[in-house]
Amino acid sequence: MAQRRTALTTRALTGASVVVLTAGAALLPGAGSATAATGSAAATPAAARAASAASLVARLGDRAAGSYYDAVARQIIVNITDPSAAGQVRNTGAVPRTVRYSTTQLRGALGTLTQRARIAGTAWAIDPRQDKVVVTVDPTVTGAKRAQLNTVVHSLGDKVVVRRAASAFKPLIAGGDAIWGSGVRCSLGFNVTVNGAPYFLTAGHCGNASSAWSDSQGGGEVGQTVDSHFPGTDYALVQYDDANSDHASVVDLYDGGSQQITHAADAYVGESVQRSGSTSGVHGGSVTGLDATVNYEEGSVSGLIDTNVCAEPGDSGGALFDGDAAIGLTSGGSGDCSSGGETFFQPVPAALSAEGATLP
């Protein structure tokens, strides 16, 4: 196989019950051709301030209720329930905001939803900008299921708000730089190494669908799925067959350039992010929630990043990134890139940790 290879993509499977999205890290041999995405340098200070705020929120416990980035004011906002904590917030360079509900109270609402309302076609996450749990309901939730959800939501009072999704929540098989499996097409997320050997990350629902992968339809095998997790979480690890091949840590930008990826980072609410996918190209948006749960027909997935970034069938497994930081792997969602949508992502740091993997 030639040293230079394009990244793998995924399209929706006709008639398949699971439609998977794939975005794309490029399978390029060297990083020299990578170009920085617009705004990547500006992301670093905001990310550092967000991490500092998250650490403070953890230390404050019930005196705090999350944090987020206000893109208009260019400030990190830290929600507090105890006004006496305002000074500690200001000392970190963030802006304090007094709210009603603590993180513990909002997580309690999440627990109630998980126990009593785990219904296919629903999703939920804490939105610190509203100081509420946002429950999203797709059009498939009707009749007795909707009545059950309404009862649980009503019991939680104004800690919860409900919104409607335009279309059904689905994991989306298809993507960025494509990988082809047994009757499926998905996207490569990020190239990684494990004990010095080359691998790549993609979505778990893609890994469940195929044990072997090619970089072209009907082409020769380039790698095998060695570990896959879905539902519950949504990531898979694929080992390259050629242990001596060199795979660059870049993402295809679909404009002739690529984005160098140097590290993985945790997402934060309000963060500006981009997603790469072969079906829809590169699209951007922002992080709207963390530790989200989405209830697909195939099962529930938790610990996800919730965004207003659009995606379409063929984008699954693909890369969510902020400049040179790897953020997430495309899982699924609702909507499309014509009317807009909501897309969920498996956090990359958690997948790397679970697999003992590192970025090249």
Q: State what percent of residues in the chain have pLDDT above 90.
A: 74
Residue 33 has pLDDT above 90, yes or no: no
- Segment 235-249 mean pLDDT: 93
pLDDT score, position 216: 87
Q: Judge whether 313 and 12 are in contact, CB under 8 Å.
A: yes
Burial class (CB in 10 A: 0-12, 13-18, 19+), 293: buried
pLDDT score, position 173: 56
3-class SS of residue 310: coil
What is the greatest pairwise CA distance in the chain? Answer: 64
Residue 143: pLDDT band (50, 70, 90) is very high
**Domains present along the chain, CATH in parentheses:** 25-38+170-355 (2.40.10.10)
Residue 136: pLDDT band (50, 70, 90) is very high
Dump pLDDT digits (tens) for 262-295: 999 999 999 999 999 777 889 999 999 999 999 9
Q: Give CA separation, 276 vs 65, 151, 187, 326, in Å.
A: 32, 39, 9, 12
Residue 21: pLDDT band (50, 70, 90) is very low
Tokens at residue 134, please? 């946002």
Catalytic residue among 127, 215, 234, 252: 234
Q: Judge whether 247 and 240 are in contact, CB under 8 Å.
A: yes
Q: Judge whether 21 and 205 are in contact, CB under 8 Å.
A: no
Distance CA 188, CA 169 (A): 21
Dump pLDDT digits (tens) for 172-216: 753 345 788 888 888 889 999 999 999 999 999 999 999 999 988
Residue 28 has pLDDT above 60, yes or no: no
Q: Judge whether 102 and 62 are in contact, CB under 8 Å.
A: yes
Mind giving me the DSSP string for 264-289?
E----TT-EEEEEETTTEEEEEEEEE
Pairing state between β 25-26 and 190-194: unpaired
Dump pLDDT digits (tens) for 104-130: 999 999 999 999 999 999 999 999 999
Catalytic residue among 187, 210, 214, 316: 316
The residues with which 9 forms a beta bridge, in sequence order, are 178
pLDDT score, position 183: 83
**DSSP class of residue 81?**
S
Pairing state between β 272-277 and 281-296: antiparallel
Among 19-33, 169-183, 219-233, the range of highest mean pLDDT: 219-233
Closest Cα partner for 177 from 244, 259, 296? 259
pLDDT score, position 207: 96
Distance CA 254, CA 278 (A): 8
Catalytic residue check, 154: no
Residues in the chain: 360
pLDDT score, position 44: 62
pLDDT score, position 246: 81
Residue 82 has pLDDT above 60, yes or no: yes
Catalytic residue check, 245: no
Its pTM stands at: 0.86
The C-alpha R_g of the chain, in whole angstroms, comes to 20
Catalytic residue among 102, 138, 177, 205: 205
Task: Find the range with the poorest average confidence among 165-179, 285-299, 335-349.
Answer: 165-179
Catalytic residue check, 216: no
213 or 254, which is more confident: 213
